Structure 1
Amino acid sequence: MTNYRIMKNLIIFMFTVLVCLGCKTSKAVLMHQAAFYGDAKVVQEYLNSGLDPNSMTLSGTTSLHSAAYRGNANIIELLLKNGANPNMVDGRGWIPLHQAVDQGHVGVVDMLIQSGSNVNAVMGASGYTALDWSVIRQWPKVSDLIRKHGGKKITELHLSQ
């Protein structure tokens, strides 16, 4: 069985279980799962069916957040090409760039910055920027890349005002 079939069957199974348990679900949740697991065919099917690439789950997460967290560059490219907003804020106040920084995905961080992600967006209640977080997480290559594109620490942003 191909990965596509396995993923498709898994999504159908998850949908069935959620419906049987009376949980609320939506296509956004299922596309989010496909993005998380890197299944471009399933993500493309949902996009082709008219699903908004910026659709959020109940927790406020988009498929782009999920793909960024996992470092799924092919999914990120697909979502961005179909209109996903790289500055969409999730339920914690994070944008997809923050997810990629959190996991140290240098290539994905670069891709998101090139697509217009705000390198100085504040990470919700923590008050950190992507640069702050990359330093805390000890990702020097990510820190260098963010700095190269104008990223600042929160203290630098405050001092420049």
Structure 2
Amino acid sequence: MKQRERKKLTRRLFHAIRAGDPAGARAVLRAGAHPEWTNGEGTTLLYTAAVQGEAEIVRLLLAAGASPDAESEGIGAEGTPLCAAACWGHTEAVRVLLAHGADPDLREDHGTGWTPLQWAGNGPHPETAALLTAAAGA
């Protein structure tokens, strides 16, 4: 795929995620967008969906092959998808990520930062924290 087409599809997919449009995201993925592409700053699609609590889009990206533990590098959008969802108490997105193999004990910032449970507890988001506690003990 040519770089110009890739950028166009990536922009369309980011737009669908930000708009909370699962049908639009599905259509762009079917058109050939890769679920692991990033924007120019290094922000992953999965991180963007997780931080917004778009559980259905998180599910679509994971089913299309996005890595559940891929760390985003974007300015102001760095970290793992699970930490992003946990930080904001997006319990359903956390549930989807865990079901697809996200590591509940993985620290962001390349292993030096907080765990998803620390983010959920800092929120505070008790339902999300309980889910992560159960997953970490499993």
**Same fold, TM-score > 0.5, yes or no:** yes
2:102 aligns to what?
117
For the residues of structure 2 that align with 1:75 and 1:104, how far apart are their CA atoms?
17
| C-alpha deviation, 1:93, in angstroms | 4.6
Structure 1 residue matching 2:117: 3-state secondary structure = helix
| C-alpha deviation, 1:96, in angstroms | 0.9
* Runs of 4+ deviating beyond 4 Å: none
Aligned match for 2:61, one of 76, 79, 91: 79
Aligned match for 2:72, one of 78, 90, 93: 90
Structure 1 residue matching 2:72: 3-state secondary structure = coil
Do the aligned partners of 1:36 and 1:63 also contact (CA within 8 Å) in 2? no
For the residues of structure 2 that align with 1:63 and 1:93, how far apart are their CA atoms?
12
Q: Which has the higher contact order (CA 8 A, sep 6+)?
A: 2
Structure richer in strand, relative to its length? 2
Matched, 1:146 2:118: no
TM-score, normalising length: structure 2: 0.82
Matching residue's letter, 2:27: E
Do the aligned partners of 1:32 and 1:62 also contact (CA within 8 Å) in 2? no
Matched, 1:58 2:40: yes
For the residues of structure 1 that align with 2:125 and 2:22, how far apart are their CA atoms?
28
Q: Would you say how many aligned residue pairs link Structure 1 and Structure 2?
A: 127
Q: Percent identity?
A: 28
For the residues of structure 2 that align with 1:39 and 1:141, how far apart are their CA atoms?
25
1:68 aligns to what?
50
| C-alpha deviation, 1:36, in angstroms | 2.0
Ranges in structure 2 where 5+ consecutive residues have no aligned partner: 1-6
Matching residue's letter, 1:48: R
The structure having more radius of gyration, on CA atoms, is 1
Matching residue's letter, 2:128: V
For the residues of structure 1 that align with 2:78 and 2:17, how far apart are their CA atoms?
20
Do the aligned partners of 1:31 and 1:43 also contact (CA within 8 Å) in 2? yes
TM-score, normalising length: structure 1: 0.71
| C-alpha deviation, 1:130, in angstroms | 0.8
Aligned match for 2:27, one of 41, 45, 54: 45
Matching residue's letter, 1:106: T
Q: CA RMSD in A?
A: 1.8
